[in-house]
Each structure stands twice: as C-alpha cells, then as structure tokens.
A and B are shown apart, each in its own frame.
Chain A
C-alpha cells in the first residue's frame, strides 16, 4: 500500500479486509440462492485451509502469528477463491486452491504485502489448469434441486442422491456455452432462442442478479472509501468499450455489452479481486492503466482465448505489468519542478 508511509497500522488492514468481506455478503447470498449451499461449503473449506496454512507457514518462518491472522487477508483470499469455484465440487478442490494460494502465491514471495500476484487468482488459475473438467462444470441455476446435505455429501464423498448423475446435472456457464456455440457456427440469436432458460433477461439466468449484487457491494466499498473508483471503472469501461466496438461491427457473433458486464465474473473481478492493494498499481493514473489492461484482456481472452472466463488470467497478467506501470506513472514529488 502506498498511503502515507508514517502510518503503519495493522488495524487499518484488518478494518479494510472486514469491510470488503461485508461488501461481499449481498452477492454471496444471491449466489447461494441460485447455485446452492456449495458456495458456503466451499467458503468454509477454503477459509479453514487458508488459516491452517497461514499459521503453519508463519510458524516455520518464525513470524508473529496473531497480527497476521487477525489482519484478515488470508480469509479474504480464501473467500474470493471459493466464490470463483463451481458450487458442486469435491472438498479437495477449494482446499488445494487455498493451500496453493497461501503457501506458494503468498508466503513463498514474502508474505502479506510482498506478493506480486493476487494469491486467490493464482490458486484459481492453478486449479483451472490442473482440473479443467471439475472447474468448468456448473449446476443449473435454481433448478438443480440439491439441498444442503446433498451438496455436503457430494463435497466429501462424491455421491449424489439416487437418480442424479454428475454429468447430466452439470452444464456450461452462459459465457462458456456462447463460446462453444459460436465456434460451431451458430449466431447469437439462434443460441439465445435455443437456450432461453440459460440466458435470463440480460445476460444469464441467475448470473445477472449475482453480478448486480456484487456491483452494489462494490459501490458501497467505493462510497465508504475502502477502494478507489479508478480500477473498477477502468476495467468495466475498457470491457464495455471493447464489447461495444465488436458488437457494433457484427452483432450476430459478438455478444452485447450487457452480456459481458453481467454474464460472468466481471463485477466480482472488477470490484473485489483486481482492487487488491498489494498487487494493483499504486498511483491513480497507474490504476487506470492497470484496470484498462485487465478490461481489454478479459475481452480478448473471453472472445478468442481458450477459456470461457478470463478474470484470473487478466488480473495475473496485469499483476506482472504492475512494476512497469508504477515506474512510468510515478506521481511527481511535492515541490519537484513541473516538467510541462
């Protein structure tokens, strides 16, 4: 964090993390409503694993345990990772992801404040590369018919209630199915009429409401000044701009702006993931460049890349560019001669 250097206070960090966690609640509740209790189970498993790993590593590194546990960064990392996972997953998926995020992406790079890459997204990218099948299968919104115990049962024993079959139950997300259907040569209109239940009113049944609630949470965070507006606005702006240009040029094969903003994980990514103060650019100008880069990359990877959604890869790629962005967007020191 590049706030005033003389203010060093763990309290600040933990209050900020708590605010972010609270702001995630509305989106998470709607997520549970549509996609079942797997969300909660994933969050619990990820948080517990993250805390265990954090304590173990701090012990090995001879660091004080209490202040680093109470700052809440490990918990937030675990929650963000869990929110990005499919909701019907075996327990080891969130556990492995959270462990990887904390041990490798956070502590091997120096721990809290030193990690160049967003730990939650490193964990997610690792899982996506290692377990492509488990990571891209989602249960249908609201009509999955699984209660809490069914989900818990699947999480730990990988058994479903009688008459249900994992492959029949799960399906692709709206982003994923648009991508595969477009590659098969269908136009957007044909895809929409063929899968009307999947796509809902704006972007995707269920997904649009989750995105709206994460948007609400994000706006609250900006209004109470926990995050600045620069990164989310530039991400969403760049994504919308790209979507607008291509949708204008060929509306039959490039989905509209609303689909890109509300159909995937754009809101969660823009307000909660990319704004991580450790891995984002420091100055306001730098944040605008960083966000715009993420927005453009999301569009490129979603449209022409190999994966349906692209928040994790875009954020990680721009994390890599942050040192350079910071170097070229250093704010002038007070009292320095004006270059212009």
Chain B
C-alpha cells in the first residue's frame, strides 16, 4: 500500500478494507464471542490494543529486521503484546476475562494482526502504522459490536447486559430491555446465529457499496453530459 495519506488509512480500516467485512480475517473470535455487545466490545478493544502495539513496534524495527526472519520476529512481538494485554485484563477486568476465556490468548492467532504487520507496518512509517492499527482495530471492533448487538437483541431481547463487566458497578443499570416478556431466540446466541448474522452484515455492506458505486457513475455521467453541453 503506497498511498499512506491519513484519511485514506482511516477509511481503509473502517470500511474499504475492514478486517472482518472485507478481508474476512479473525473470524473465529469474531463469531465465537459476539453474542452480546459487551463481549464484542471487550474483545474488539483488546484486539485493537494488540494491533496498535504490534504495528508500532514492527514499524519501529522495520529497517533492522532481515526479511528472511521477519515473520518469526513479528510473531514474537505479537505474542508478547497479547500476553501483556491478557495479564492486564486478568488483573483489571477479571470477570470479563473469564467470559472471553480462551479468546484473549487466541488473539495471537488472529490473522488480521500479522496481516497488518506484514502488509502495512513493515513498509510504512511509525505514525501511519499507528493509525492503521488503530483504525483496523476499530473497524474490527465496530463489526464485533454490531454483530453482538444484533445477536443480543434477537437472542436475549436486551442490549448492554452485563455492562458492569467493563464499566464497573455503576453500569449495572445500562441494560436496555427491548421486549418485555421475551422468550429468547436461542439460535441467535448459538454459533449458527453468528454465521447467519455476519452473512447479513456483509450482504448489507455490499448493497451499500453497490448503490454508492451506481450513484457515483450516474454523477460522473451527468458531469460528462453537462460539460458536453457547455
């Protein structure tokens, strides 16, 4: 990626090259923990932190690492970052850590992270690598939270349940009950719901992209027409 203008990096991470929607990377944790908004938010932020830290470090050392051994070095950096984040979550967000369980150490295996290290951070400046990590991570988090909200709303009929896991005791009241007397829809909480939900989200993104493309085409055609007339 040679174009490193900041706004482009941001747009890339959040939309055009969104790790979950477009690159379809890191789907295992995405599908496994997106059953509530809070779980999704927790894992998304942990992944974002890892992405930022690993991207920055990889970018700093990019001139000194020989290309033959770059992948093991990246893996070491990512593994240490994840370990730090895992231990800190265990210390400060213990309950959330217990719920997310194996998926926090598994951030190591999230291909989105090594993909950004290899494809972006090892070739770009520290500041743009930082931005890339941040917005790729936020793009991933956005999908996790959206999918989590969909599944939680359909599956439990609530939003933001167990918010105290992230925001402390004061947040216990955050929970919004969408439907009173809701029986629950188990399918949405179980893994099939994650696959179906992600399918709909990706379809929705493709529809938006298609509409936008059609509108741009129409616009440019009108401009050509207008310039031909004058």
Contact = CB atoms under 8 A, between A and B. Distances in A.
Contacts of A332: none
Interface string B169-200: 00000000000000101111010100010000
A132 B196 contact: no
A104 interface: yes
Among A104, A129, A130, chain B packs the most CB atoms within 10 A around the CB of A130
B187 A126 contact: yes
Contacts of A129: 186-187, 190, 192
Contacts of A131: 183, 186
Nearest to B196: A104
A136 to B, nearest CB: 13
Contacts of B183: 131
B201 to A, nearest CB: 14
A307 to B, nearest CB: 14
A132 B186 CA distance: 9
A95 to B, nearest CB: 14
Interface in A128-150: 129-132
Contacts of A132: 186
Nearest to B192: A129
Taking residues whose C-beta sits less than 8 angstroms from the other chain, chain A's interface range is: under 10
A239 B188 CA distance: 33
A130 B185 contact: yes
A130 B187 contact: yes
B212 to A, nearest CB: 20
Q: Is chain A's interface secondary structure helix, strand, loop, or mixed overall?
A: helix
Name which of B183, B186, B187, B192 has the most chain A CB atoms within 10 A of its CB.
B187
Contacts of A130: 185-188
A129 B188 CA distance: 10
Contacts of B187: 126, 129-130
Nearest to A132: B186
A9 to B, nearest CB: 33
A259 B101 CA distance: 45
Contacts of B185: 130
A88 to B, nearest CB: 16
A129 B155 CA distance: 12
A126 B187 CA distance: 7
A132 B184 CA distance: 12
A132 B183 CA distance: 12
A129 B183 CA distance: 14
A131 B190 CA distance: 12
B147 to A, nearest CB: 17
Nearest to A134: B183
Contacts of B192: 126, 129
A295 to B, nearest CB: 25
Nearest to A96: B185
A122 B126 CA distance: 50
A132 B187 CA distance: 10
Contacts of A104: 196
A110 to B, nearest CB: 14
Interface string B130-149: 00000000000000000000
Nearest to A127: B187
A104 B196 CA distance: 9
A152 to B, nearest CB: 21
Nearest to B193: A130
B179 to A, nearest CB: 13
A117 to B, nearest CB: 13
B163 to A, nearest CB: 26
A131 B189 CA distance: 12
Interface string A103-120: 010000000000000000
Interface string B28-43: 0000000000000000
B161 to A, nearest CB: 19
A3 to B, nearest CB: 33
B79 to A, nearest CB: 37
A93 to B, nearest CB: 11
Contacts of B190: 129
A131 B184 CA distance: 9
A299 B187 CA distance: 25
B193 to A, nearest CB: 9
A126 B190 CA distance: 11
A131 B182 CA distance: 13
5 contacts: A129-B186, A130-B186, A130-B188, A131-B186, A132-B186
Interface of B: 183, 185-188, 190, 192, 196
Given A126-B187, A129-B187, A130-B186, 11 more contacts: A104-B196, A126-B192, A129-B186, A129-B190, A129-B192, A130-B185, A130-B187, A130-B188, A131-B183, A131-B186, A132-B186
- Nearest first, the 4 closest Cβ-Cβ pairs linking A and B are A130-B187, A130-B186, A129-B187, A130-B185
